[in-house]
A and B are shown apart, each in its own frame.
Chain A
Amino acid sequence: MIENDHIEIDLLLEAIYRKYGYDFRNYAYSSIKRRIFHFIENESFKSISDLQGALLKNESVMEKLLLTFSINVTQMFRNPQFYTIFRKLAQELFSNMPIIRIWHAGCSTGEEVYSMAILLTELGIYDKCRLYATDINEKVIKKAQSRIFPLSQMKMYTQNYLDAGGEKSFSEYYTARYKGALFNADLAKNMIFSVHNLVTDKSFNEFHVVICRNVFIYFNSDLQNKVIDNLFYGSLMSGGLLGLGDKESLHLSNSTEHFKVLDKQLRWFQKK
C-alpha cells in the first residue's frame, strides 16, 4: 500500500515541475521527503497540500524551497586519495595525448575544479587540458568563476592538498584578500563554466574524463542509471575515466559491463 505522504509528495513534485520546470520527480524519495518536512516545519505550513497551495501562488516560496533542495557543500581535494589515484592514472594514460577534456558535472562552487587544475599544473600537463565545469545552479557557477574561496577553509584544504600528494606549498596558489583566498588567474585559464542540468540537458562534447561526485546521492536509482547509461557513457571516449563520489557506485547500472572498475574504494571507473 502506498502511503498518503508518498502520494502527496509525488503530487507536490509534479506541481513544481509543471509550474516552474524544476524536475525533482526522480530525486531520492526518502531524502527529499525529509527536506520537505523540514521545510514545512521551519516555515510553519500545516501540511504538504498547504505548502503546495502556497507554492503555486507564490514564487518566493518556490525560491526558498529550492535552497532547501540544493546542497552545495564541497571542499578542495575532498577525499584526497581520490586525487592521488587520479595523479597516477593521468601519468599512465595522458602523457602522450595532445589534448585532454575533463568534465566536472555538478561542480558546485568550483573547489573540485581548482583542485584538479592544481594537480594538472603539478603534472605539467595543464596547458593541454580543458576543464568543463557545469552545475544546475547558476549562483554556484558565478561563485566558482570568482576564484575566491573562504580563507577560513585554507588550513583544511592545505592538509587535503598534502594528503593528495601535493608537491608545493599550497599558499603559492592564492593570495589572501579580506576574508577570501583569491586563487591565481593562471589556474582558471583553461576552465569553461556553464549551467547544465544532468536530468534534462544533453551531452556537449566527448571527454577523456568525467567527474561527477556527490550528485547521484540526491537522485533515485532509475535517474542515476539513466544519467550514467546515456549521458556519461555517451560522453566518454573509449578508455575514458569516470570518477564518482566517496560513497557512490555503479552497481545498479546497466553499464557495469561497459565499465572496468579501476579502484572500487576510491570510485574510479574506465569505459571499456
Chain B
Amino acid sequence: MKHKYKMVIIGGSAGSLSILKTFFFKLNPSFPLPIVIITHTMPDNGQRSKEPPIIQHFTSLPVIEPSDKEEILPAHVYVAPANYHLLFDQGLIVLSADPPEMYNRPSINVAFESAADEFGDELFAILLTGANSDGAKGLSSIKQKGGHCIVQDPEDAEFPDMPRAAIKLVKDIDDVLPANSIVQRLNSMIIG
C-alpha cells in the first residue's frame, strides 16, 4: 500500500502510557515516519519527563525529548516535554511556554492544530484514552485540512472521555478502533 503521509501524531492523557508501551512493542521497527507524541505529563519541577526512557524500552527507534527548533527526522519518536506547548514550523519542532490551554501544557489541541497547518492532508493523527476533552478541537482542524484521524474506541479506552469528546465534535473521523488495531494500521502502511 502506497501512502502519502509525512508524519504521525499521537495525543493521549490518563491511561495512555500503558497503551503506548504495547503500541511501540508491536510497531514494526522499520516504521519510516516521524512519530510525535503529546501526553499530559505531570510537571515535575522542570525536570525531564519520564515517558521517553520508558517508551525507549519498547522500541529500537530513537525516542527523543525534543529541544526547541529540533529538526523532525524520519523514523524518530518525539515526546513533548512537560510544561511546554509543542508546535511545528517548516520542518522543525517549536516549543512555547505560553499559558496552559484548558489547564493543559502541552495541549493536544495546540499541537494538533499546528500540525494540521504544517502537514495538511499528509498527517496521520491518533487520539487515545484520557479523562478530559483535549484533542477534539485539534482533530477537527486536522480533518478540515484533509488529514487522517483515528480515535481509540471508547469501549477499549481506560478513560473514555477524551475519545468520546472527539467523536462527538468531529463527525467524519476516519476510524474508531481498539488500540491493537491502530498499531496494525500503522504496520500495514509499510507493507507493499
Give Cα A28–Cα B92 distance, bound, in whole angstroms: 11
| Pairwise interchain contact B69-A224, C-beta atoms closer than 8 A | yes
Digit string of A226-265 for contact with B (CB within 8 Å is 1, else 0)? Answer: 0000000000000000000111110110000000000001
Task: Using A216-B68, A251-B70 as known contacts, say yes or no to A34 and B89 having CB atoms under 8 A apart.
Answer: no
Q: How far is the CB of A254 from chain B (nearest CB, A)?
A: 14
Q: Does B97 contact A (CB under 8 A)?
A: yes
Residue among A246, A247, A249 with the highest chain B CB neighbour number at 10 A: A247
Shortest beta-carbon distance from B151 to chain A in Å: 24
Within 8 A of A (CB), among B81-129: 81, 84-85, 87-89, 92, 94-98, 110, 113-114, 117-118
B96–A217 CB distance below 8 A = yes
Q: How far is the CB of A115 from chain B (nearest CB, A)?
A: 14
In Å, the complex CA distance between A33 and B113 comes to: 11
Bound form: Cα–Cα A216–B95 in Å: 10
Known: A214-B97, A248-B67, A252-B69. A30 touches B46 (CB 8 A): no
Question: Shortest beta-carbon distance, B7 to chain A, in Å?
Answer: 15
One of A49-57, A71-79, A140-148, A173-181 contacting the partner: A71-79
Known: A30-B89, A78-B46, A220-B89. A3 touches B95 (CB 8 A): no
Residues of A within 8 A of B92 (CB): 221
Interface residues of B in 39-90 (CB under 8 A from A): 45-46, 48, 66-70, 81, 84-85, 87-89
A28 touches B96 (CB 8 A): yes
Within 8 Å by CB of B87, from A34, A79, A224, A251, lies A34
> Which residues of A have CB within 8 Å of B67?
247-249, 251
Q: Are B95's CB and A247's CB within 8 A?
A: yes
DSSP majority for the B interface?
Answer: mixed
A34 close to B98 (CB less than 8 A): yes
Known A217-B97, A221-B69, A249-B69; 16 more pairs at CB < 8 Å: A3-B117, A28-B87, A30-B87, A30-B96, A30-B118, A31-B96, A34-B87, A71-B97, A79-B46, A159-B45, A160-B45, A217-B68, A217-B94, A224-B69, A247-B95, A249-B67
A-B contact pairs, 19 of them (CB 8 A): A28-B87, A28-B89, A30-B87, A30-B88, A30-B94, A30-B117, A31-B87, A31-B96, A31-B98, A34-B96, A34-B98, A73-B97, A78-B46, A217-B94, A218-B96, A245-B68, A247-B68, A247-B84, A249-B69
On B, residues with C-beta under 8 Å from A are 45-46, 48, 66-70, 81, 84-85, 87-89, 92, 94-98, 110, 113-114, 117-118
